[in-house]
Amino acid sequence: MKSPARKHFERVTAAKAAGAAKPGQPQTGEQYELHAAALYEARRTLKGIKSIQAKIEKKREVLPDFLPYVDGVLAEGAGAKDDVLMTMMIWCIDIGEFGKALEIGTYAVKHDLDTPDQYDRDTVSILAEEIAEGVKAQLEQEGADADALANVMARTVATVGDHDMHDQIKAKLHKSYGYALRAADDHEGALAQLKEALALNERIGVKQDIQQLERLIKNAGGKASA
């Protein structure tokens, strides 16, 4: 485990290099090179793991070592290309750290950063689809924090909602947002999101959910239930 002093050093030096880098050009600097090498080794380890759940746990174990670097780039970065940063965005989604993923994603969208070559979708599509699926999976777990997950979806929509993406992906985004709002007892908000999903993709599988919500709202006198 890295000491607080080491973390501070990595964060400060990463911030300085990221601030000096030219937008759109490859990130350079000692901290980038060190973390790129560490990422290469981590990927080699992950390739040797067959279980998806075990891969997720390994990412959860390794990711904190990269966070001082990530925080430095986010603090001072000017938008240089950065495979380490963008890989950490995806790993954060994989382990359910949606808040940090959105911090990175907001920076990436602002600076029009691409994901590394091994990922076959653009940044906006990955954020929309992977967070939508991750939130939907968490909602199905016992004791899920519906309010927090609804907030994650609100932030995701605010970050990527106006950007171009396939209708099927945007439909997933609104479907998960609708499900999160429904779980948080915001029935009218949920209904609006599910109708948006259906308008984008009539095969998204929300017609019965819409009907149920409409009945709930009608039985409550047209007002969202508490």
For residues 115 and 119, give the distance between their C-alpha atoms in angstroms, rounded to a whole number.
6
* CB 61 within 8 Å of CB 49: no
Same domain, 131 and 185: yes
Among 193, 122, 195, 189, smallest CA distance to 160 is for 122
Q: What is the pLDDT of residue 223?
A: 52
Residue 53 has pLDDT above 70, yes or no: yes
Last residue of a domain, one of 105, 120, 135: 120
pLDDT higher than threshold 50 for residue 91: yes
What is the average per-residue pLDDT within 135-163?
94
Which of 120, 151, 179 is a domain's end point? 120
> Per-residue pLDDT for 27 more than 50?
yes
Among 91, 120, 149, which residue terminates a domain?
120
> What is the model's pLDDT at position 92?
97
How would you write the chain as a 3-class SS string? CCCHHHHHHHHHHHHHHHHHCCCCCECCCHHHHHHHHHHHHHHHHHHCCCCHHHHHHHHHHHHHHHHHHHHHHHHHCCCCECHHHHHHHHHHHHCCCHHHHHHHHHHHHHCCCCCCCCCCCCHHHHHHHHHHHHHHHHHCCCCCCHHHHHHHHHHHHHHHCCCCCCHHHHHHHHHHHHHHHHHCCCHHHHHHHHHHHHHHCCCCCCHHHHHHHHHHHHHCCCCCCC
Count of domains observed in the chain: 2
Mean local confidence (pLDDT), 188-194:
97
pLDDT score at 198: 97
The pLDDT of residue 47: 94
Is the per-residue pLDDT at 190 higher than 70? yes
In this structure, are 18 and 58 located in the same domain?
yes
Mean pLDDT of 51-73: 96
Residue 154: both structure tokens together = 């609100």
Do 143 and 198 belong to one domain?
A: yes
Looking at the structure, do residues 17 and 107 belong to the same domain, yes or no?
yes
Same domain, 5 and 114: yes
**pLDDT score of 28 more than 50:** yes
Confidence of residue 118 (pLDDT cuts 50, 70, 90): low
Q: Are 167 and 194 members of one domain?
A: yes
* Mean pLDDT on 142-158: 96
Give the span between the Cα atoms of 226 and 125, in whole angstroms: 33
Claim to verify: residue 149 and residue 81 sit in the same structural domain: no
Question: Looking at residues 96-100, what average pLDDT do you find?
Answer: 96
- The CATH number linked to 146 is 1.25.40
Q: What is the mean pLDDT of residues 62-69?
A: 96
Query: pLDDT category, 224, cuts 50, 70, 90?
Result: very low
% residues pLDDT > 70 (the chain) = 97
pLDDT at 225 over 80: no
Is the domain of 132 the same as that of 112?
no
pLDDT greater at residue 120 or residue 162: 162
Residue 104 CB coordination number (10 Å):
26
Q: Which domain, by its residues, includes 202?
A: 127-226
Q: Per-residue pLDDT for 210 more than 50?
A: yes
Q: 44 and 139: one domain?
A: no
